[in-house]
């Protein structure tokens, strides 16, 4: 299904994509709702699918914590939502309902808009989870919906749009907390077969685990656990919500050029050894109370060892491994 859609989108891009991109944002072409065509929507999907999404998506609360509402406002325009929705308080309904205050509201409950039975019959609330599922593929969430929009494949863009929609309220609803459980639930399949709640009888030390850690699994973990939402890892990579992490092992803490750290982490004034990284990743807020890294932590020791082994590999001269 997905690959068929991507194929369709790719074909559409081949015939008319170049012209669209030259003309600028897809949103510009959607000034009139009547001009919405299958092609315009397919192109939109194609743009989302052009950069292959990571094999495993980060949990929604992690994506939301990292998302920028300003970027979401731009995405809302670029993805064509503006063609059908107004967002100002008391704004008129268009082809779609006004979206002020929609986060946390009843599904299909804006006054003065005639919804499809498909959506008004759901009877649920617009939680972040529901909105995320809805925007991924409206017709899957509410088969028969009037919202003729293929969906937005890019999880990062969706999370940005959600935090933007959240700002459209006198009292924005609280973001969901990043649960430590989400981290345990996304650890490697080998650990999940025994269950994250059942620790091994004789736990191996971090050093032992690090000595036999798997760099590739560490890299995969940065996707699964959402680190990639805030950090780049390549040499010379840009700072995002968090600093670029190339060469972090053995380097001075809170010292990456061009990144503004919290006073909490700067005050540590130490070196990122394997041990300090292990403690940090277990629970950032415990290691540096007041840190800007809004991340619960990685509960599984083997996963932390893999992460640290991966961070260690990001260097021309990786530091020697400890001898357990």
The residues of the shown chain that bind ligand HEC, judged by CB under 6 A, are 33, 36, 62, 65-66, 79-81, 83-85, 95-97, 99, 102, 107-110, 115-116, 118-119, 131, 135, 142, 145-149, 152, 161, 222, 225-227, 229-231, 241-243, 245, 248, 253-254, 256, 261-262, 264-265, 277, 281, 288, 291-295, 298, 307
Cβ proximity to ligand HEC: between 201 and 227 the closer is: 227
Cβ atoms of 167 and 175 within 8 Å: the answer is: no
Residues 15-31 as b or e (16 or more Cβ within 10 Å = b): eebeebeeeeebbebbe
Cβ proximity to ligand HEC: between 12 and 254 the closer is: 254
Name residue, tokens 């990639």: 228
Least CB distance from residue 205 to ligand HEC, whole Å?
20
Quick one: tokens of 138? 């409206």
Least CB distance from residue 305 to ligand HEC, whole Å?
12
Cβ proximity to ligand HEC: between 13 and 305 the closer is: 305
The rounded distance, in Å, linking the Cα atoms of 3 and 11 is 12
Least CB distance from residue 201 to ligand HEC, whole Å?
26
Cβ proximity to ligand HEC: between 12 and 245 the closer is: 245
Cβ proximity to ligand HEC: between 202 and 258 the closer is: 258
Least CB distance from residue 308 to ligand HEC, whole Å?
8
Instruction: Locate all alpha helices (DSSP H) within 142-234, ordered by sequence.
Output: 155-167, 180-185, 189-194, 206-211, 215-224
CA dist list (Å): 246 to 7, 67, 107:
36, 22, 44
Least CB distance from residue 202 to ligand HEC, whole Å?
26
- The SS3 of residue 271 is strand
């Amino acid at each position: 299904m997905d690959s068929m859609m991507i194929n369709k989108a790719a074909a559409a891009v081949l015939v008319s994509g170049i012209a669209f991109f030259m003309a600028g944002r897809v949103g510009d072409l959607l000034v009139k709702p009547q001009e919405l065509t299958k092609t315009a929507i397919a192109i939109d999907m194609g743009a989302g699918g052009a950069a292959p999404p990571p094999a495993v998506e980060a949990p929604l609360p992690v994506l939301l914590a990292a998302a920028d509402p300003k970027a979401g406002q731009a995405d809302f325009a670029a993805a064509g939502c503006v063609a059908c929705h107004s967002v100002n308080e008391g704004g008129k309904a268009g082809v779609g309902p006004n979206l002020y205050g929609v986060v946390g509201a009843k599904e299909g409950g804006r006054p003065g808009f005639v919804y499809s039975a498909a959506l008004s019959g759901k009877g649920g609330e617009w939680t972040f989870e529901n909105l995320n599922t809805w925007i991924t593929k409206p017709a899957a969430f509410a088969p028969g919906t009037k919202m003729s929009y293929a969906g937005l494949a890019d999880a990062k863009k969706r999370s940005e749009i959600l935090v933007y929609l959240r700002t459209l309220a006198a009292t924005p609803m609280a973001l969901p907390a990043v649960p430590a459980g989400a981290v345990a639930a996304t650890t490697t399949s080998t650990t999940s077969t025994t269950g994250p709640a059942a620790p091994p009888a004789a736990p191996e030390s971090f050093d032992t685990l690090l000595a036999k850690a798997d760099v590739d699994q560490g890299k995969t973990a940065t996707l699964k656990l959402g680190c990639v939402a805030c950090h780049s890892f390549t040499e010379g990579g840009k700072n995002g919500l968090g600093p670029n992490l190339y060469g972090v092992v053995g380097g001075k803490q809170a010292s990456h050029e061009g990144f503004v750290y919290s006073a909490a982490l700067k005050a540590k004034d130490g070196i990122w050894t394997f041990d300090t990284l292990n403690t940090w990743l277990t629970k950032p807020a415990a290691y540096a109370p007041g840190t800007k890294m809004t991340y619960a932590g990685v509960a599984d020791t083997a996963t932390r060892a893999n992460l640290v082994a991966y961070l260690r590999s990001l260097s021309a001269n990786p530091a020697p491994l400890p001898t357990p």
